């Protein structure tokens, strides 16, 4: 169990992260990460997925995360130029203490993306996210984010925004 105050802080963090991703506020989103962050989007819903054996959609360490953001900031990442219009709902949030004073939060999300770069299609993205959060200088940061899409193993359209 965690305290109500702590739970509140987790919820606010998840809402904040969702807002920054929705609004393509890339630098602010990157600032939510610790220096040892790992951002993982498996290409399967199999819980036994292993990023050292199986191909993932995303398996970024800090360096690659920064490259991902730099590309988006060039203005020439055409698959996100202009940025998709997005709003996501984050819900069913469960938070628990983890080792080393960290917190682990699980949540569901539903994201509507208007991919306006070509056909102006609406894409639905739905999945379950696991965040690992750590207090750094009094503020919560993510050191791990894993996103398991319900259709992770199906043909997906461009996923170059922040999920």
Partner 1 sequence: MSSPSPNGTIDYTALVHDDRIHASLYTDPRIFDDEMERIFRRGWVFVGHDSEIPSAGDFVTRRVGTEPVIMVRGKDGDVSVFVNRCMHRGTMVCPADRGSARTFTCPYHGWTYDISGELLGVPYPGGYAAFDKSAHGLTRAPRLSSYRGFVFASLSPAGISLAEHLGSATRLIDRSCDLSPAGEVELTAGWVKHRCAANWKALPENDSDGYHLGFVHRALFSTVRSQYQRVVGDERAIKAVVRDWGNGHIEIDWSPGYQGPFEWLGGVSGSAVADFVAALERRDGAEVTRRRLLGGPAHALIFPNLFLGETNIAIVEPVSVEECVHWHTPMFLTGVPEFRSRLLRMAEAGMGPASFLMPEDLLVASRNQLGLHARTAVWLELGRGLNRERVDAEGRTVSHVTDETTNRALWRHYRTVMTEA
Residues making contact with partner 1 (CB under 8 A): 41, 43-44, 51-59, 64, 67-68, 70-72, 74-80, 117-119, 121, 153-160, 163
Tell the smallest beta-carbon distance from residue 66 to partner 1 (Å): 10
Tell the smallest beta-carbon distance from residue 68 to partner 1 (Å): 7
Distance, in Å, from the CA atom of 62 to the CA atom of 135, rounded to the nearest integer, reads 18
Distance, in Å, from the CA atom of 85 to the CA atom of 87, rounded to the nearest integer, reads 7
Tell the smallest beta-carbon distance from residue 82 to partner 1 (Å): 12
Q: Is the Cβ–Cβ distance between 133 and 104 less than 8 Å? A: yes
Helix (H), strand (E) at residue 21: helix 4-22
Residue whose CB is less far from partner 1, 33 or 103:
33
Residue whose CB is less far from partner 1, 22 or 113:
113
Provide the token pair at 64. 């690659």
Residue whose CB is less far from partner 1, 130 or 158:
158
Tell the smallest beta-carbon distance from residue 154 to partner 1 (Å): 7
Residue whose CB is less far from partner 1, 7 or 77:
77
Q: Fill in the DSSP letter of residue 84.
A: P
Residue whose CB is less far from partner 1, 13 or 39:
39
> Which ranges of 23-104 would DSSP assign to H, the alpha helix?
26-30, 62-73
Order of strands, edge to edge, in the sheet holding 139-149?
56-60, 33-42, 139-149, 121-136, 103-115, 85-97
Tell the smallest beta-carbon distance from residue 55 to partner 1 (Å): 4
């Amino acid at each position: 169990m965690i305290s109500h105050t702590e739970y509140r802080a987790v919820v606010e963090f998840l809402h904040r992260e969702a807002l920054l991703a929705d609004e393509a506020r890339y630098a602010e989103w990157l600032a939510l990460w610790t220096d040892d962050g790992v951002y993982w989007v498996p290409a399967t819903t199999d819980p036994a997925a292993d990023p050292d054996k199986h191909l993932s959609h995303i398996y970024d360490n800090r360096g690659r995360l920064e490259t991902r953001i730099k590309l988006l900031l060039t203005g020439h990442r055409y698959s996100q130029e202009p940025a998709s219009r997005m709003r996501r709902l984050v819900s069913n949030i469960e938070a628990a203490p983890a080792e080393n004073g960290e917190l682990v939060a699980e949540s569901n999300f539903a994201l509507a993306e208007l991919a306006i770069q070509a056909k102006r299609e609406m894409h639905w993205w739905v999945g379950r996210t696991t965040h690992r959060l750590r207090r750094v200088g009094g503020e919560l940061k993510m050191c791990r984010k894993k996103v398991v899409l319900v259709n992770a193993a199906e043909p997906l359209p461009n996923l170059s925004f922040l999920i």
